[in-house]
Amino acid sequence: MRHGQTVIKVKGGRTVSLPAWVTRRFGMRNGGFVSVRETRNGVLLKPATPANEAQAWFWTRRWQRMEREVDAEIRRGRLRRSRNLRELVHDLRA
C-alpha cells in the first residue's frame, strides 16, 4: 500500500512523531534509531542501528531484553564470580 504525503508537526525539543504506517512498514520501534541525511530534495530518514552491521544483532529487541534481564539479576546480587573454568562448571551445575 502506498501512502501519500503526510505532514507532521515539530514539537518541543525539535521532536517529531512518525505516523503509525511509517513505523509499521519499516519495522521501527520505540527507542530505535534513524539516520538523517540531507538530500537535494530535503531530508531523508532511514531506520538504522548505532553500531556497524556486524554488531546489529546486539541492538535487536530480543537481545536488548536479555541485556535488561541480566542487569536486573546483577542489581539483585545474583552474580557469582568463578576463579577458573572448573569452578565455573561446578557453579553452573549447582
Same structural domain, 33 and 63? no
Same structural domain, 29 and 10? yes
- Residue numbers of the domain that contains 64: 51-94
pLDDT of residue 55: 80
Same structural domain, 44 and 56? no
Per-residue confidence at 59, pLDDT binned at 50, 70, 90? confident
Same structural domain, 93 and 80? yes
What is the average per-residue pLDDT within 60-88?
Answer: 90
Total domains in the fold of the chain: 2
What is the Cα 59 distance to its own chain's centre?
4
Distances (CA, A) of 30 to 23, 33, 34, 61, 64: 9, 9, 11, 10, 13
